[in-house]
Structure 1
Amino acid sequence: MLAEPAVMKALGLNAAGAAADDGTGLGAQSCSPSLKGGAPGGCGPLVPVLPNQALRRYAEVMELVPVPGPHGPVLGLNPSGAPSPPHDAADPALAAAIARAIAASTQPVALIRKRLPLIAGWVASQRRAEDERGLPLPPGPADPDRLRIEERREPYAAYFSVHELRLRHRLHRGGWSAPVERAVFVSGDAVVVLPWDPVRDRVLLVDQLRAGPAARGDAQPWVHEPIAGRIDAGESPETTARREAEEEAGITLGRLIPVPAHYPSPGIMAEYVYSFVGIADLPDGIATVSGLDSEGEDIRGTLLAREELTRMTLDGRIVSGPLMILALWLDRMAPRLQAGKG
């Protein structure tokens, strides 16, 4: 599975030259790993490499075994000797980042394999953060060398995970902080979208049982929310918004209008939420009960006049932070959008 030169570099592999002839090398089929887990993606030419521990762990996670070839064993083929099928979402840079995450993880191989789609989604979230917010902008010190993460551990991983960071940072008053330890809940980036029919001036909300309020002992653990979902590796936030609208509410969105993205709780969560208002046709009877059985979802849709959503937000009946943001943003912007000025 060595995916492209970028993945080979990520795993610390060196070219073996003719080493395969003396039994110390391994032929590697250049392939792209599946972003959904399971079989790897499309394959390219053979490259001889010197195996290392990172490669062995990567191969074990991806369930690759060496297959005899004309010039020695080859890694990156199915046991039948056939290349794995191509994967439409292949991305060499993302594949390399996933390989680094697999090699660095101390979790059991079976758990890493099970969580591969989530790991890929988290890695993609880190790449988006670097691309979109990588400059040393205010607030905070202007020096690019202002944060040093000295150690990262993952003491818990099941569906989501917890990372423990040991870090130092520049202080507002000058100099560097003493080492600081922080625990962060890691789930990957998410999308929320509020379907709005500007002609009927109504919105579609969803509600379902939520574990957070239930764990807190809230007597009302069913919460009105916007449509929401995790961004899969290889997806854009816009693609996720459209996919989730179909899965959770059975509706097709037209234009997506970006609303400012945000960190819901930056002190303890790495989640970054991309927000949209989605133009939709919302006639009577379109709200249904839906959701994916495979994910234990029981989601009910509710049609609501936009002004009623604003009233519910202002009088405290809306407790979902992302929905509050969307409701108040839309209350301010709706007249402008309806007039075709936004």
Structure 2
Amino acid sequence: MTTQITGIPGIDVPDGRGRTGLDQAGRDLAGNPRVRVRAVELLSCSWYVLLKTTFDYRHADGHWSVEHRESYDRGNGATMLLFDPDRRTVLLTRQFRYPVYVNGHPDGMLLETPGGLLDTDDAETAVRREVEEETGFTIGSIEHVFDVFMSPGSVTECVHFYAAPYQADSRRAVRAGVAEEGEDIEVVELPFDRALAMIRSGEIADAKTIMLLQWAALEGPFRSA
């Protein structure tokens, strides 16, 4: 006899990732008196969470309006710039990113700083894990650079940015990644000046990578004296 599951996944029964109560997100917000959440509709929880929220908003002139927003919750993330200050190099990764491929990138093979989602870890633990998985490097002390909401109009994600030195002789492989997760990652070492030039040429088009490279030039390990 087959037992039928009654209820809505992600709301009153666990979804594929064991989550419930996803339609409660934002209902307890009280930090902004100009915003009153009316309703939250769960549109998708296949892997990440897509919500449609209806709220009242009081404008600067005092009048209220009813607004509707869709927000995509993929969790928060962390990324790290690996640099060698003596050799003036940086370590990046190259991997296929379908969303950029379908949106006009020539081949979808994006050069990026390593990183990933926090999952259940704190930001520093997560970024260490992701860097080791994606590059094969185990790093020592790290520096927190800044935290950024990358696409605040529709995506909830906050990315925590870090930087750390690496030693070239500890490099274990030119390809890395977690095979079980479908990752096929090339490890790419570049002269720092070449990496900056690749921003201007469009060869580096990933936002987090551009931000960390420019930080390194303006305030970080490669700033002018």
- Report the TM-score, using the length of structure 2 for normalisation: 0.84
Give the drift of 1:160.
Answer: 1.3
Provide the residue aligned with 1:193 in structure 2.
Answer: 80
Confirm whether residue 115 of structure 1 aligns to residue 17 of structure 2: yes
Determine the C-alpha separation between the residues in 1 that align with 2:9 and 2:93: 39
Confirm whether residue 269 of structure 1 aligns to residue 151 of structure 2: no
| 1:155-202 residue CA offsets vs partner (Å, 9 max, x unmatched) | 1121112111111223123333x1111111110001111111222221
Provide the residue aligned with 2:34 in structure 1.
Answer: 146
Determine the C-alpha separation between the residues in 2 that align with 1:219 and 1:256: 34
Segments of 5+ residues of structure 2 without an aligned counterpart are none
Determine if contact 2:136/2:171 at 8 Å carries over to the other structure. no
Segments of 5+ residues of structure 1 without an aligned counterpart are 1-59, 61-102, 137-143
Determine if contact 1:204/1:282 at 8 Å carries over to the other structure. no
Distance 1:302 1:335, change over 3 A: closer
SS at match of 1:179: strand
Determine the C-alpha separation between the residues in 1 that align with 2:179 and 2:211: 29
- Identity of counterpart residues, as a percentage? 25
Q: Specify which of 77, 102, 115 is matched with residue 215 of structure 1.
A: 102
Provide the residue aligned with 1:331 in structure 2.
Answer: 217
- The higher radius of gyration belongs to 1
| Structure ranking higher on relative contact order (CA contacts 8 Å, 6+ apart) | 2
Determine the C-alpha separation between the residues in 1 that align with 2:134 and 2:96: 14
Give the drift of 1:287.
Answer: 5.1
SS at match of 1:212: helix
Distance 1:205 1:151, change over 3 A: same
- Report the TM-score, using the length of structure 1 for normalisation: 0.57
Q: Which has the higher helix share?
A: 1
Q: Which has the higher strand share?
A: 2
Determine if contact 1:205/1:224 at 8 Å carries over to the other structure. yes
Aligned length: 217
Provide the residue aligned with 2:57 in structure 1.
Answer: 169
Distance 1:336 1:197, change over 3 A: closer
Determine if contact 2:39/2:55 at 8 Å carries over to the other structure. yes
Amino acid at match of 1:203: V
Confirm whether residue 106 of structure 1 aligns to residue 106 of structure 2: no
Q: Specify which of 146, 149, 152 is matched with residue 260 of structure 1.
A: 146
Runs of 4+ more than 6 Å apart: 336-339
Give the drift of 1:282.
Answer: 2.5
Determine if contact 1:198/1:338 at 8 Å carries over to the other structure. no
SS at match of 1:334: coil
Distance 1:286 1:328, change over 3 A: farther
